[in-house]
Amino acid sequence: MPNKGFIRVAAAVPEVKVADCMYNAKEIINIINGASEKDVSLIVFPELALTSASCGDLYGSDILCNSAQDALLYVLDETYEAESISIIGMPLKYGNSILNVAAVVHKGAVRAFVPKVGQSENRFFSSVKGCLDLEISFNDDLIPLTNQLNFSGFDFSFAVKFENQLANLNSTNTDVVCFLSNKPEIVGRNKQLKGLLTVKSALNNQAYIYAAPGFGESSTDDVFAGNAFVVECGSVLAESDLFHLKSSYIYNDIDLAKTSVFSSQLNVLDEDEGENVFFPMMSAVYDSNKIVRHIDRFPFLALDENRDIYYNEAFNIQVLGLVKRLIHINCKKVILGISGGLDSTLALLVCLRAMDKMGLPHENILGITMPGFGTSGRTYKNAQILMTKMGITSREISIKEACIQHFKDINHDIDVQDVTYENSQARERTQILMDIANKENALVIGTGDLSELALGWATYNGDHMSMYAMNASVPKTLVQDLVRWAAEKETNEELSKTLLDILDTPISPELKPASEDDEIKQKTEDLVGPYELHDFFLYYTLKYQYSPLTLFLRAEIAFGDKYSFDELKHWMKTFFRRFFSQQFKRSCMPDGPNVTGLSLSPRGAWNMPSDGASSAWLRAIESIEKGDYTSDRCGGFDKH
């Protein structure tokens, strides 16, 4: 069934009765069947869920082990129609040994038993050290008893581990890792656990499902809170409310395009990784229209609760980058063009902090406003307020006469407002900044942002060039939010209002004349498309290298209620056509700090030939049709 490259997974916390395996089995059955109705493909239960995790020396009893096996058979009988794969913790007798295992169950059969390695409960269970690769007779079948298997279906792969392996686990080269736990709760543990799962899943670039015991476990010495998490590549998708009195489970959709791209790039594999067990016809089972996964429209932006921390860090990275460059070249002045637009405003805010950091006066910032044929009264006024209120050294140099003379020199008709007309103005401004920088022993600050670099929305050897590109890894949507954040923090009311008015001003290079009533006619987003879309495309192209179809389908989930199918296709084609054709500008871009972790710097961040062809990407976009979910492994979905 179509699933757009997602797999729905769950972490379950059944209510248990200590040593009452049939009661526990019934709770597990209810969860499996209920989750299967919600189209969950993979469910993880806690360690020793069939018996409860607090039986103590009772685990050594044949009665309890046999009861657990009978309970598992009951689970198989009652869930054979369920599509979900279930990972269920239980004790298992093997010869004279009792093992703590996870049963991998699917369609009424046990596919494997995975033993816990490095037991800390040696009093109750036999210790398994290193590799174990055996078979055990169960229900008239020989079942693998091994910690040397990863598991695969048509759509996804997973490994089964226990919590004691979490801290030191390298990547298993699978999409998902299932963690079974038997840990009780203590104050602060859930927060630490959440942090560990988040960090490890980010480092290993995988999705983690974690389940620990909950209510019904013995409270003789401990209390079990029912910790459950679904975490993907450093992001928590779902987590349980603790201390439930009844059975519960959490679920969300894992993006296989992320985990598959990541796993293909990894070189370090876990020592325990072994062969794969393939489950025929075991695919993601839910309908695409029921996807519950939220896809953020603005992946570059900070969550509200982390906004102050995130944006302070972003500013400080830019500030420290600039401070280091100024100290290195023994320079105490910076110069930048102040247009009254977003990018130069952010760059100016960073320069102010840099001067403060170096103990230098704000007058060492040279702000040059350079009105041209398209400068509107609104942006001109805002530029003047910024420079005045921030106490920098300001100058106004009109470029009109110089450009008119230049048009005469090159025999260009001023009424022909073509690319020559526009680019001449951008290059004239850059020349002014460069020459004054030489005169004043100052550093020219580039103001162009990551989105403009991706689209090539800059004049080659005009605003494309500077001595230090401050915003080179900051996309337009983040520039907007950083300026908004600065406006919220600003104590000067007039300056705050000016920053908000800059945010409200249409984005424009202002290279063509405004209307008769001084309204900006040349609006960037009308020409190259909405920046919120381009930043979305850019993020997933740089971070995950999504195929066009995989990217389109996620854009459809995120923006489907705002843009039509045809609009999404149109702007995606625009993005990839320009992304390829404008690489030559990025191949010689100036130095600048990497703020977001995603950069187009040719010095290691993004290596791409300037003469690469976009035809394969454009054909792939053109071939996308409504309801078409056929994809390569990067998307991980089939058309049915």
- pLDDT tens digits, 447-487: 999 999 999 999 999 999 999 999 999 999 999 999 999 99
Inside any domain, residue 2: no
Inside any domain, residue 104: yes
419 or 267, greater pLDDT: 419
Q: Which whole number is the average pLDDT over 219-232?
A: 95
327 vs 2: CA distance, rounded Å: 57
Torsion angle of the four alpha carbons 541, 544, 547, 553, in this order, in degrees rounded to the nearest 10: -90
62 vs 97: CA distance, rounded Å: 11
CATH number at residue 258: 3.60.110.10
DSSP string, 27-48: HHHHHHHHHHHTT--EEEPPTT
* Domain count across the chain: 2
Kindly state whether residues 368 and 514 are assigned to the same domain. yes
Q: Which whole number is the average pLDDT over 367-389?
A: 96
Please state the pTM of the whole predicted model. 0.87
Other CB atoms within 10 A of residue 613 CB:
10
Last residue in a domain, options 290, 321, 351? 290
Instruction: Please determine, for residue 370, whether its predicted confidence score (pLDDT) is greater than 90.
Output: yes
Instruction: Please determine, for residue 638, whether its predicted confidence score (pLDDT) is greater than 50.
Output: no
Q: Which whole number is the average pLDDT over 130-143?
A: 84
Strand order in the sheet with 133-138: 133-138, 141-146, 109-115, 97-106, 85-94, 42-44, 6-13, 248-255
Inside any domain, residue 502: yes
Sign of CA dihedral 363, 486, 300, 480: negative
Q: Which residues neighbour 309 within 8 Å (Cβ) at sequence distance 6 or greater?
A: 302
Encoded tokens for 576? 């990839």
Kindly state whether residues 354 and 252 are assigned to the same domain. no
Kindly state whether residues 455 and 595 are assigned to the same domain. yes
The helix/strand count (H/E) of the chain reads as 18, 20
Q: Which whole number is the average pLDDT over 141-166?
A: 86
Sign of CA dihedral 51, 57, 60, 66: negative
Kindly state whether residues 274 and 329 are assigned to the same domain. no
Last residue in a domain, options 255, 290, 325? 290
Last residue in a domain, options 243, 264, 290? 290
Nearest to 17 by CA among 7, 9, 8, 25: 25
CATH number at residue 502: 3.40.50.620
Do 260 and 633 form a contact (C-beta atoms < 8 A)?
yes
Kindly state whether residues 102 and 73 are assigned to the same domain. yes
pLDDT of amino acid 329: 97
pLDDT of amino acid 55: 94
pLDDT tens for 30-82 read 999 999 999 999 999 999 999 999 999 999 889 999 999 999 999 999 999 99
Q: How confident is the model at residue 628 (pLDDT cuts 50, 70, 90)?
A: low
CA–CA distance from 338 to each of 133, 201, 381, 382, 404 (Å)?
68, 43, 11, 9, 22
Range of the domain at 165: 8-290
pLDDT of amino acid 635: 34
Instruction: Please determine, for residue 168, whether its predicted confidence score (pLDDT) is greater than 70.
Output: yes
CA–CA distance from 425 to each of 347, 382, 463, 521 (Å)?
21, 20, 10, 17
Kindly state whether residues 318 and 263 are assigned to the same domain. no
pLDDT of amino acid 634: 34
Q: What is the DSSP letter of 241?
A: P
pLDDT of amino acid 270: 47
Instruction: Please determine, for residue 302, whether its predicted confidence score (pLDDT) is greater than 70.
Output: yes
